[in-house]
């Protein structure tokens, strides 16, 4: 895929499982750590408790900022990529999106049904990407989000079940041979038009497709191609 600012920003949003949420409290910025996932188009998803300060702030003022920081582990952090999303955060009632979130964060399944927890989604207005020294871009919402792929969204759960039941070793191969990651037991937790999300314990990773796909057959073709490439690299 072409490395446009929007592609880089979406990859950050999808590849990171946590972010810094900035809300407004009595006129002051209030920053907090949140666990994040994203919907198929790249909008961030948050599972928040009504008892948390940031949720109380959002109930008064929906406008917020969300920072995804991709600089961890770099010797020179300022050379790494990070993206700040500006937008409104509102609760969303959607079982498929909640399932997407809890696959990304398995421990959240233990409290997702509590009365004080609700799923929230940020609707981006703009995003500010800093991808190293001298590479700075503002991205409009229309460019930031990937096109909807309803056929793929409908097939996502079946694709993930198939990969878990019949191709667990291949998922490990993706992680090890293509992404340079250690260990076995990697799981595919989400798939969208541009790639797949992986998780093993406390580690997450992003497996990019060569080009966007729109349905289950397109995903199958990319996963077969990537499996062949991974075996060649072994």
Total structural domains within the chain: 2
User: What is the percentage of the chain residues whose pLDDT exceeds 70?
Assistant: 99
Of 144, 163, 196, the residue at which a domain comes to its end is: 144
The three-state (H, E, C) secondary structure of the chain, written as one string? CCCCHHHHHHHHHHHCCEEEEEEEECCEEEEEEEEEEECCCCCEEEEEECCCHHHHHHHHCCEEEEEEECCCCCCCHHHCEEEEEEEEEEECCCHHHHHHHHHHCHHHHHCCCCCCEEEEEEEEEEEEEEECCCCEEEEEHHHHCCCCCHHHHHHHHHHHHHHHHHCHHHHHHHHHHHCCCCCCCCEEEEEECCEEEEEECCEEEEEECCCCCCCHHHHHHHHHHHHHHHHHHC
Q: What is the mean pLDDT of the chain?
A: 96
Residues 104 and 159 in one domain: no
pTM (two decimals): 0.95
Residue ending a domain, choose from 144, 176, 207: 144
Q: Which of 144, 165, 189 is a domain's end point?
A: 144
> What's residue 3's pLDDT?
86
- Residues 136 and 159 both lie in one domain: no
98 and 193, same domain (yes or no): no
46 & 99 share domain: yes
Residues 192 and 128 in one domain: no
Predicted local distance difference test score (pLDDT) of residue 133: 81
CATH number, domain of 194, equals 3.20.180.10
- The pLDDT tens digits for 29-75 are 999 999 999 999 999 999 999 999 999 999 999 999 999 999 999 99
Asked if 127 and 175 sit in the same domain, the reply is: no
Query: Residue 132's pLDDT is what?
Result: 83
Question: What CATH number is associated with residue 63?
Answer: 2.30.110.10
By residue range, what is the domain housing residue 26?
5-144
């Amino acid at each position: 895929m072409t490395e446009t600012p929007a592609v880089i920003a979406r990859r950050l949003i999808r590849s990171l499982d946590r972010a810094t949420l900035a809300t407004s409290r009595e006129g002051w910025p209030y920053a907090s750590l949140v666990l994040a996932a994203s919907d198929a188009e790249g909008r961030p998803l948050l599972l928040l408790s009504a008892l948390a300060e940031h949720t109380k702030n959002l109930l008064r003022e929906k406008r917020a900022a969300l920072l995804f920081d991709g600089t961890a582990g770099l010797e020179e952090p300022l050379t790494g990529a990070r993206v700040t999303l500006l937008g409104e955060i509102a609760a969303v009632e959607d079982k498929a999106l909640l399932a997407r979130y809890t696959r990304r964060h398995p421990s959240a399944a233990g409290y997702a049904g509590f009365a004080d927890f609700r799923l929230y989604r940020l609707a981006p207005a703009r995003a500010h990407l800093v991808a190293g020294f001298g590479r700075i871009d503002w991205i409009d919402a229309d460019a930031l989000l990937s096109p909807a792929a309803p056929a793929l969204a409908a097939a996502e759960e079946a694709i993930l079940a198939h990969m878990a039941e019949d191709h667990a070793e291949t998922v490990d191969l993706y992680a090890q041979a293509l992404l340079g990651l250690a260990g076995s037991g990697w799981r595919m937790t989400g798939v969208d038009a541009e790639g797949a999300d992986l998780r093993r314990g406390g580690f997450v990773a992003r497996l990019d497709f060569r080009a966007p796909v729109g349905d289950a057959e397109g995903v199958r073709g990319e996963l077969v191609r990537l499996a062949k490439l991974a075996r060649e690299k072994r």
